[in-house]
Structure 1
Amino acid sequence: MSEDAVKAMKQQVGIAAAQRVQSGSIVGLGTGSTTAFAIEHLGDRLKSGDLKDIKGIPTSFQASVLAKKYGIPLVTLDDVEKIDIAIDGADEVDPNKVLIKGGGAAHTREKIVDSLADVFIVVVDSTKLVETLGSTFPLPVEVLPVAVSPVTRALEALGGKPELRMGVKKDGPVITDQGNMILDVTFGSIPNPAEFEKTLNNIPGVLDNGLFVGLADVVLVGEIKEGQPIVREL
């Protein structure tokens, strides 16, 4: 599939999600390339007057920068009682709408925001759909820097192959917005995500991991049909 086709899929699915936001909403703004199209379209709707009085809660520095660029007013979790709707991408989605997230190293904040939303909409292109979680994408685990070695050993004991995520165009490891490090752990498959999420988070030094269980309400999937991008709901 061409880069243009993938971009068209992401754009259509981002727009479809942004269309579901109503005036007066508090909106969780996710991280990543597909969600970026949703943030852009929310800005367009505000500019045209089609949408009024929304406030965004960003899940990352990237989401915050994009929201400011497109004129979406921002608030923090301290300022709101609840979040009406959150829009976010995913790296893998299984048939039960369980997700692996964290390719952008923002999953800890994303999980907080997405879990508080009345409706959490996941936006993906069709390449992100899998039968079994962990089959195409490693599971990101956010770790306190002081605990990288013991957590690595604990993850290996659980059958994982952890690798410290390294920066691109930067020497050294990726540092999250919270100042921590990411271990990308290959498990091959994760048959019981709900139990596994708890097991991983009980390892001392682990802040959170990229398994999102029971959080996704709606999954919008961008596909190419007969050369045209379409969006379907999972």
Structure 2
Amino acid sequence: MRILIVEDAADVAEAIAIRLGKTGMACDLAESCAAAEDFLAVQRYDAIVLDINLPDRNGTELLHAMRQRGDRTPVLMLTALFSVDDRVSALDLGADDYLVKPFDQRELEARLRALVRREAEQKSDVISLGPLTFSPATLSATLGGEPLDLTRREATLLELLLRSQGAILNKQRLYDGLFAFEDADVGLNAIELYIARLRKKLAPSTVGIETQRGLGYRIFNDG
């Protein structure tokens, strides 16, 4: 899952990124609306955390511009304002949710996962495919009722595939879901390594990952 955090308070932005990173989300940080626009010009995101008070423009202006050009990326607004009018205004402009500062990091994480579930083909808190079950909230899986030992990135890759069951996801889409811009030293071929590791761990079951040459990968159950 790839998240853009638009927040000019570096300590707040970094704390959010660290917390979300531990749950398998790849985060890019923008300190202004202009920086956010640069990221949005070259990268697709699963969700955006957008502060209202930014140094160059109000975050609601960036939100309005996104919606005007047809960008429907889920947006969670952060605000220090307690006015109901301000919150209603943000929602009317196209925000999907909001949190009032200060907030609990666990709530932010849960709300982001809820936003992403709305857009996904698989919307359940627990995703199943044959003998495989996966919990996005805990990045944990079981196979035939037995715990599946997964690294954080293996679990994130598995979630991406399971959220789009039946669809073929190309290598770039999977890469974008696993790595942020700060991971630029990691090549696209790393996806092949993680796919191979997942295949090995799923091998004893009827669940597999199919390679569509030149197109991408698809998870399936042959049971």
Q: Same fold (TM over 0.5)?
A: no
Going by fraction, where is helix more abundant, 1 or 2?
A: 2
TM-score by length of 1: 0.30
TM-score by length of 2: 0.31
Going by fraction, where is strand more abundant, 1 or 2?
A: 1
